[in-house]
Structure 1
Amino acid sequence: MPFLALGLAPALARAAERLGFAAPTPIQAQAIPVVLSGADVLATAQTGSGKTASYVLPLLQGFVQQAPTSPRRVRALVLVPTRELAAQVGEVLRALAQDLPRRPKVVVLFGGVSINPQLMALRGGADVVVATPGRLLDVVAHNALRLGHVGTLVLDEADRLLDLGFADELQRVLALLPARRQNLFFSATFPTSVQALADGLLHQPQRIDVPANDAEAPMVQQRAIQVDSTRRTQLLRHLIETEGWPRVLVFVATQHAATVVAGKLNRGELYATPFHGGLSQGARQEVLGEFKEKRWDVVVTTDLAARGIDIENMPVVVNYDLPRSAVDHVHRIGRTGRAGAEGLAISFVTAAQLAHWRLIEKRQGLSLPLEVLPGFEPTEVPPPPVPGGGGIKGKRPSKKDKLRAAAAQKTASGGEQLL
């Protein structure tokens, strides 16, 4: 099916093909006509399946069909959870708009850098704003931006934006928007903990679910290797050298661990660097740029890099520390095997994390053999079970889960007033 058959303008169809979209992916084929119709959308599809273009192309078509105003008015607002995803969505918008007879002014707003250049960029208004919630509110507080004419709100990585960490900021943003608008929620996962919040903010949404086996699903081979916690770095170095991996994205639990593991790898003559939220925005952009240019062998990162970062032909990701939840596991391994390419995801399983690994397997429908590599035979034993559970993201609701449930109930009961 060509893009023209979805109702897109010829210039946008050509732009999509120029960027390498030979034909619409399943999420694009299903979402674009619905978005063009003006309906609210709740869409779930695997990472790397083309979700960003699914809403960017209809947004640009809506811009072309609107009469220009002076000063410019923000007609579309895209909210994202991270600076890196904000920059990436901005790049996609500008790239797809290149062939349009009238190009929109796209302004990207995120924290971690000086606000002054962003305020300057908003002089004369903007047509499309891509922002993290906190910096958006800062800009509004400086009277540099008004959101009273927003016709379409997009939440990219909606599950995280609806999570407790962004709940307050999101509610403050919603209060600044017109009651009548189109709402588009896109994400790779939609846990039940945020489903009620989404339902309360959407008006008769069209639900689009593209299962992994129906989409251009990531072709990711997964392996689980049992290893002692003290020998993970040695094993990582051994695998890189013996498998001949050209680039590796390694996930750890903390910023400190990212720095320590990268330092140890460097001493083993590998070009490795940490990437985490403690770095300045300039440093983070530099690391990503150099990694994409293949100037680093290994980037050791926290879950900061688990969402919204698209690195072409990323061959391998390694869970040095297991992710906190099964949902985070999906996003981590989604950094490889993108756009139809093959990928490899390896999880190191220590004795202390064995029970948690079994939980991830169960929730993801996995059944992987626990490999033991020669020379790295584990000697550690699992700790005794903690009375009352206590596992990470187990069946018992945590305090955070209870707060989410309370917020969901509050939003569900009062959500109609926000729309």
Structure 2
Amino acid sequence: MDFDYSPRQKELIARVSAFMDEHIYPAVPTYEQQHEEGERWKVIPVLEELKAKAKAAGLWNMFMPPSSGHPHLDDTFVFEGEQLTNLEYAPLAEIMGRVSFASEVFNCSAPDTGNMEVLNRFGTREQKERWLRPLMNGDIRSAFLMTEPLVASSDATNIETRIDRDGDDYVINGRKWWSSGVGDPRCKVAIVMGKTNLDAAKHQQQSQVLVPMDAPGMKVLRMLPVFGYDDAPHGHAEVLLENVRVPIADSLLLGEGRGFEISQARLGPGRIHHCMRTIGAAEVALEKMCKRLMSRKAFGKYISEHSVWEERVARARIDIEVTRLLCLKAADMMDKAGNKVARLEISMIKVKAPTMALQVIDDAIQAFGGAGVTSDPGLARAYANQRTLRLADGPDEVHNRTIARMEFAKYGDLAQKIRAERDAERVPVGSR
């Protein structure tokens, strides 16, 4: 088992790290100043300047995996970028995770990454030209609308949004929320998941369609705060779709009833990207915590010399390293065996990464004392961001369910016995 990065990874890690050092870290104060000035939902100038520099440096669209075109569709679209495997991209995502806006600088931020992969794999030539090309160029942004406020969306079969045929058009009605990216004025298109056939099998009722954000009937009801943070200029919205009409030929992705198939292809890589960025955020929190502990004295010695803090720092380092190894293992399995085979590893890292980061950030907040819960060190916002990830792309409970069921499946004879006992209990008393 080789734990060393390949020469290609090392070269890209060095290039991305150097770009962060030279351009992104120094731009953080400017970004924060421009972010606080004027309208909340806007394009931030320094971010556009950084994007131009990243594109010129060839550090652009690195998330796009190789050979991602769908074999049954036109995949002749030519892309810029390195087209890295999940394993090659993972350490770069960690580096980007050290600054909240860094992934957008490299055109590698959610939900655009997942949407671009979907369009690349399942879109028609016309859909790619209209939406994928400007997304890959960084000219527009996009949103993904699946979660709904009136049902338990952790089970996506519950979604109620209807996508009904009317001649050559679809008419869409429903309410979505946690629609990330809708607040950005550059958001021009959304991928919407809804039901096209209520009579089909449970996982074949759903389809995904492309909907322009300026389509009549698309209404942004409100932007949703996360622990009081509005996440401008990106943001998460509650969106109402009232008789939204789109041409079937222009909007349908892959085919009717294939919404779950698209989702599974989309969410695997996205979860790895989130988890690696989470590790980067945890590294930043640990760095801030150590510097704080080594600069303050209490009860006659530096706080870092108190055993309780030695234990917490050691635990943080161990947990970060364990999480990184698990994430790299999941990425490697996805590359070699595919997302379906890597389900266990994807679920494990999706649970482990945000839980780990939250503990490290919480310890860092404690190390800063009263300052920790202010906005000064940035830890409160980091905590809010990471807490959201225990819900995004499937809550912990769903992933733990997958892990547990795959573990139980190792003991087939016992599982068969339990099923038999359960079936026997369901027999009506009068028929015994």
Bigger radius of gyration: 2
TM-score in terms of structure 2 length: 0.25
TM-score in terms of structure 1 length: 0.26
Larger relative contact order (CA 8 Å, sep ≥ 6):
1
